[in-house]
């Protein structure tokens, strides 16, 4: 029997999620929805100004998984299939797909007359070129590529993805919201190849188009007049109807959190991201400000396993016992509603992805055991560098408290802060760091877990046959029960091999003007939103 995907089909065991952390506008961190902030009929026009906490390294949503890139770029680019408000997979540029009986050929039909920002209509040839680039540069695309034999356009609006063998995670990968399979013109995909897109190559199909980027100051997008919107008003998320009510979006680089908050208070900005949870209660009584909260993955400390001392498992075990994560969380987040102590790879709200089994060593704080393991390891007292971005207050606090705790058990530690762009560059070379502090936003498949992509800077050059086998089993798994078993094995693998140290699950706090009607989801989206006078 053929499997077909039409407009209202909900697929993917992984994505049937009820995520309480993704609150509506004005909602508290518990997810309880407060009174609607709707301001009546939508209004059009004007400029919407967003204060970003850090500047993207690139706007190439396929090339990099950074949240700041995603939150700007998904206004510009779109994918074949995407997650709706409930995190189910729905079509976006695609109209439907079907598979053969062996589930080795995926036939994808495109919507007609979807236009790029350069005026050209999207064809299957553009999609094929985009998929081929995704297979090379996206960590998710690289995982899927192991199973893909070829991608072929069979007409202007139909393409086939032909697999070497059945791969049940393919649609999860195609709809991934990180390192995304964004569709761009074929000539741009081929010219860019494995390099990030240049400013003149930033051409997508989204409701806003790229205008300019003044490095260190602002990124400007404009309303795309010929946008080919879907019509489904109840899908939300990254698909369904999208209306660009503003003439212009300005993403302003404002690294000082106090300046971001004060700027919104005084009307300088309409939206400001990444506000300290310590200010949540204060903001409740602040005039003209609405709070926006949503689940935001988790914070981590990753060791560089390509060199000493963290190539030695005993040193990693010593560090795991040295870290008092409860103390780190209290010092970093303050408000308990904005963090939770949980060692699993996914959040409890992600019911089809969550398993708490195999996380016993998550809270393994034991300074005396840490000292013993360190004494029995290859650590010889050399200084350990903790690298972090000083654009992010949470990263800074985590690094500072971790330094204190590590020194208590015998590590020598130096803090190594950089602004975001420099931090990303230095992260790529193993000689530059020993530990990095980084946050990973919410993922929806093990293939999206960038912190565990083998032999990369993101994973600290993690090399594990055990993890590779678990990922292979994941791609072949059919039932929810089988996937639960694999998720448990993945937890055990991370628990035993310690490729990274999870700190806590995070809830993000942003703020907006109370004149803005806004539907919060997972990260900021500024289509289907407007502001009143």
434 in a structural domain: yes
322 in a structural domain: yes
- Tens-digit pLDDT profile for residues 278-317: 888 888 888 899 999 998 999 999 999 999 999 999 999 9
Distance of alpha carbon 474 from alpha carbon 503, whole angstroms: 25
Rounded (10°) CA dihedral 340, 346, 348, 352: 180
321 in a structural domain: yes
379 in a structural domain: yes
Pull the structure tokens for residue 498. 């310690």
- Mean pLDDT, rounded, of the chain: 90
- Tens-digit pLDDT profile for residues 88-121: 899 999 999 999 999 999 999 999 999 999 999 9
CA distances from 471 to 11, 210, 493 (A): 20, 36, 11
- Tens-digit pLDDT profile for residues 206-246: 999 999 999 999 999 999 999 999 999 999 999 999 999 99
407 in a structural domain: yes
- pLDDT of 3 reads 42
Q: Which domain holds residue 426?
A: 295-508
Of 123, 271, 111, 118, residue with least CA distance to 209: 118
Mean per-residue pLDDT, 499-517: 96
Is pLDDT at 33 greater than 90 in this prediction? no
281 in a structural domain: no
Is pLDDT at 185 greater than 90 in this prediction? yes
Position of tokens 């995070």? 506
More confident residue, 257 or 28: 257
How large is the angle between the packed helices 313-322 and 367-375, nearest 10 degrees?
160
CATH number at residue 303: 3.10.105.10
How large is the angle between the packed helices 465-476 and 480-497, nearest 10 degrees?
170
Of 65, 22, 1, 33, residue with least CA distance to 458: 65
195 in a structural domain: no
CA distances from 218 to 211, 212, 274 (A): 11, 8, 17
20 in a structural domain: no
Query: Which value, in Å, is the radius of gyration of the alpha carbons in the chain?
Result: 23
Q: Which residues contact 369 (CB under 8 A, 6 or more apart)?
A: 318, 321
Position of tokens 């310690």? 498
- pLDDT of 39 reads 58
Q: Are strands 148-153 and 81-83 parallel, antiparallel or unpaired?
A: unpaired
More confident residue, 7 or 63: 63
Q: Are strands 501-513 and 339-340 parallel, antiparallel or unpaired?
A: antiparallel
Total domains, the chain: 1
Position of tokens 């995907």? 5
């Amino acid at each position: 029997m053929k499997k077909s995907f039409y407009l209202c089909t909900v697929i993917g065991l992984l994505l049937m999620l009820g995520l309480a952390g993704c609150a509506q506008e004005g909602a508290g961190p518990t997810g309880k929805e407060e009174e609607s902030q709707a301001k009546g009929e939508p209004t059009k026009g004007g400029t919407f100004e967003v204060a970003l906490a850090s500047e993207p390294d690139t706007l190439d949503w396929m090339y990099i998984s950074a949240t700041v890139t995603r939150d700007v770029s998904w206004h510009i680019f779109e994918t074949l299939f995407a997650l709706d408000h409930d995190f189910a997979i729905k079509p976006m540029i695609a109209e439907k797909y079907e598979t053969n009986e062996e589930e080795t050929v995926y036939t994808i039909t495109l919507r007609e007359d979807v236009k790029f920002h350069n005026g050209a209509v999207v064809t299957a040839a553009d999609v094929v070129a985009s998929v081929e680039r995704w297979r090379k540069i996206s960590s998710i695309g690289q995982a899927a590529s192991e199973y893909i034999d070829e991608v072929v356009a069979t007409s202007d609006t139909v393409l086939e993805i032909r697999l070497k063998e059945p791969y049940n995670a393919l649609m999860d990968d195609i709809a991934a919201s990180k390192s995304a399979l964004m569709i761009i013109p074929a000539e741009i995909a081929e010219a860019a190849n494995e390099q990030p897109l240049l400013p003149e190559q930033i051409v997508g199909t989204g409701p806003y188009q790229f205008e300019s980027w003044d490095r260190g100051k602002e990124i400007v997008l404009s309303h795309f007049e010929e946008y080919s919107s879907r019509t489904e008003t109840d899908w939300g998320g990254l698909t369904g109807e999208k209306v660009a009510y503003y003439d212009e979006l300005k993403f302003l680089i404002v690294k000082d959190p106090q300046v971001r908050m004060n700027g919104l208070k005084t009307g300088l900005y309409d939206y400001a991201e990444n506000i300290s949870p310590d200010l949540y209660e204060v903001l409740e009584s602040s005039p003209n400000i609405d709070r926006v909260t949503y689940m935001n993955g988790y914070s981590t400390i990753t060791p560089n396993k390509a060199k000493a001392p963290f190539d030695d498992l005993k040193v990693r075990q010593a560090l795991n016992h040295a870290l008092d994560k409860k103390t780190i969380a209290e010092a970093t987040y303050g408000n308990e509603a904005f963090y939770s102590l949980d060692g699993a790879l996914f959040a409890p709200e992600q019911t089809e992805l969550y398993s708490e089994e195999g996380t016993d060593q998550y809270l393994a704080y034991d300074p005396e055991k840490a000292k013993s393991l360190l004494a029995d390891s290859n650590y010889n007292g050399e200084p350990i560098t903790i690298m972090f971005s000083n654009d992010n207050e949470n990263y800074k606090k985590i690094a500072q408290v971790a330094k204190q705790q590590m020194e208590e058990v015998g590590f020598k530690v130096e803090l190594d802060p950089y602004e975001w762009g420099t931090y990303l560059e230095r992260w790529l070379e193993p000689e530059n760091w020993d530990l990095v502090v980084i946050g990973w936003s919410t993922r929806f498949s093990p293939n999206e877990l960038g912190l565990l992509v083998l032999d990369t800077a993101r994973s600290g050059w993690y090399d594990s046959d055990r993890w590779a086998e678990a990922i292979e089993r994941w791609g072949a798994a059919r039932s929810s029960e089988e996937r639960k078993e694999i998720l448990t094995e993945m937890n055990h693998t991370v628990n035993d091999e310690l490729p990274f140290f999870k700190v806590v699950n995070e809830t993000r706090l942003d703020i907006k003007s109370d004149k803005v009607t806004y539907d919060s989801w997972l990260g900021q989206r500024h289509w289907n939103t407007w502001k009143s006078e």
